[in-house]
Amino acid sequence: MRIGIIGAGLAGLTAARGLAEAGYAVILFDKARGPGGRMSTRRTETAQGMAFFDHGAQYFTVRDAGFAETVERWEADGVAARWAAAGDNAWVGTPGMNAIIKAEAAAHDVRWNCRIERIVREGASWRFEHDAGSESFDTAIVAVPAEQVAPLLASHAPEWAALAEATVSQPCWTVMASFAERVDFGPDCLRNAGTIGWAARNSAKPGRTGPESWVVQGSPAWSAAHLEDEADSVIAALVADLAAATGVALPETLIVQAHRWRYALSGAAGRTMLWDEGSRLGVSGDWLIGPRIESAWASGRALAAAVAA
């Protein structure tokens, strides 16, 4: 039984782990050049060495007992650690958020830089079409953000495509700034300060090296209102707001850049996963449950259990 998974974020990789443990042959495809998905970490050279920014998810919390076991394994493997600055139950990947995705991906055959353009039903098989050709599988799993589901599934599972289309994500403008000196502000993070939804001293997270580095996220409402703005004006606005929110004069910047996430925090479709035994087609992703890392894990795990059953 060959299973093809589109999307090697945490949902796809968690499904892959469960299915590989159940004895299936799994191949994952991801359009990105490397591991991360929305748990990405960006490296940027500065005059004071390499700066690192978790520019997607900032940290995660743990509620489910099964997820707690997984996080214990990540901690034992050195790819996750608690980050008390964000709360008692806050965890991050180490040395970057993407370390978790890298570690999970290492166990599987993942084809990076490979966007699946469409999937085609051929007899009892699913053919995945990409730039370099195509491959066929007995089972197809789609583990991509809600907004990217419909183009793949509209002609095979229109009701699922409609559910995904109705589950709208919020955007997030993210500014990444490294400074020549420490920003003279006591706490390592702040929430909901005017136009800022969240800002954190990324370089204070466990296991980080490099210069003083901050990640500043516009609130969902501000990001939506400024979605089509130029990066330069977003940088100017959010850096000024960081100065205002911390109440300090910011040191000289070594580097400052911005990233626009059109689909950052998912909606919540009120499901856990989608699985059709007849056609052997499945869907997982945070958006089925809600906009959290734990949701992506829970959805992937539930789908693997359904497929294996």
Which residues would be at the binding site for ligand FAD (CB under 6 A)?
6-12, 29-32, 37-39, 56-60, 115-116, 143-145, 148, 172, 174, 217, 261, 264-265, 285-286, 291-293, 295-296
* Closer CB to ligand FAD, 51 or 200, in the complex: 200
Question: What tokens were used for 93?
Answer: 């990947």
State the nearest-atom distance from the C-beta of 131 to ligand FAD, in Å: 10
C-beta nearest to ligand FAD: residue = 9
- Which residues sit opposite 256 in a β-bridge? 177
Query: What would the 3-class secondary structure string for 115-160 be?
Result: CEEEEEEECCEEEEEECCEEEEECEEEECCCHHHCHHHHCCCCHHH
Task: Give Cα 303 to chain centroid, integer Å.
Answer: 18
State the nearest-atom distance from the C-beta of 13 to ligand FAD, in Å: 7
State the nearest-atom distance from the C-beta of 115 to ligand FAD, in Å: 4
Give 155-207 as a DSSP string: TT-HHHHHHHHTSPPEEEEEEEEEESS----SSSEEEEETTEEEEEEGGGSTT
* Closer CB to ligand FAD, 203 or 217, in the complex: 217
Helices and strands in the chain, H and E counts: 8, 18
Question: What tokens were used for 189?
Answer: 């993070």
Give 49-67 as a DSSP string: EEEEEE-S---B---SHHH
State the nearest-atom distance from the C-beta of 34 to ligand FAD, in Å: 10
State the nearest-atom distance from the C-beta of 217 to ligand FAD, in Å: 6
* Closer CB to ligand FAD, 160 or 261, in the complex: 261
Q: Which DSSP letter does residue 6 get? A: E
CA 243 – CA 87 distance, rounded (Å): 23
State the nearest-atom distance from the C-beta of 220 to ligand FAD, in Å: 10
* Closer CB to ligand FAD, 73 or 182, in the complex: 73
* Closer CB to ligand FAD, 62 or 254, in the complex: 62
- Which residues sit opposite 179 in a β-bridge? 212, 253
* Closer CB to ligand FAD, 49 or 235, in the complex: 235
Task: Provide CB contacts within 8 A for 183, sequence distance 6+.
Answer: 201, 212, 214, 246, 248, 250, 251
* Closer CB to ligand FAD, 89 or 233, in the complex: 89
Question: What tokens were used for 272?
Answer: 């856990």
State the nearest-atom distance from the C-beta of 275 to ligand FAD, in Å: 16
